[in-house]
Amino acid sequence: MRHASRFISVASSVLLLAGLAACGSTPMYPQTPVSSYPAQYPAQNQQSNYVEYGRVSNVELLQTQGQGQGSGVGAVLGGVAGAVIGHQIGSGGGRDAATVIGAVGGAVAGNAIEKNRNTNVRETYRISVQLDNGAYRSYDVTSPGDLRTG
């Protein structure tokens, strides 16, 4: 009876810690510092819009792979599985330590596996343009539309 209540208390502690770990999140966008300087505006006599003519010299498909986000389910499942395995491996007084170590290791591994499964691939197109004055410009767009080389 004493052994079962100890296991239940350790398992509930592990679940509580895994649940709290699942609540943490990383920002979706990088944090950029806010400038304390006033914004600079162009002088009134500067021409801000102008037209450049050229031809499309290349359309290239770029694939970028973003890091997946973990929802916490992988950490919880990994923590529970690790706690069960650690409890089975440990014996005597080391059983509790093995349970906790297994839970923490399983939570970390489960979270990493979940993030790897949720990776996303973004496709963008790089449009290279040679201007009539000889300069080159490149633009990254989500869809090339009907642009072709030439």
pLDDT < 50: residue spans in the chain: none
Max CA-CA distance within the chain?
Answer: 86
pLDDT of residue 80: 87
pLDDT of residue 109: 87
Whether the model clears a pTM of 0.75, i.e. scores above it, the answer is: no
pLDDT of residue 55: 93
pLDDT of residue 62: 85
Backbone angles phi, psi at 61, to 5 degrees: -85, 125
For the chain, the domains span 2-22+55-141
pLDDT of residue 31: 52
- The single residue listed with the structure tokens 């499964």 is 117
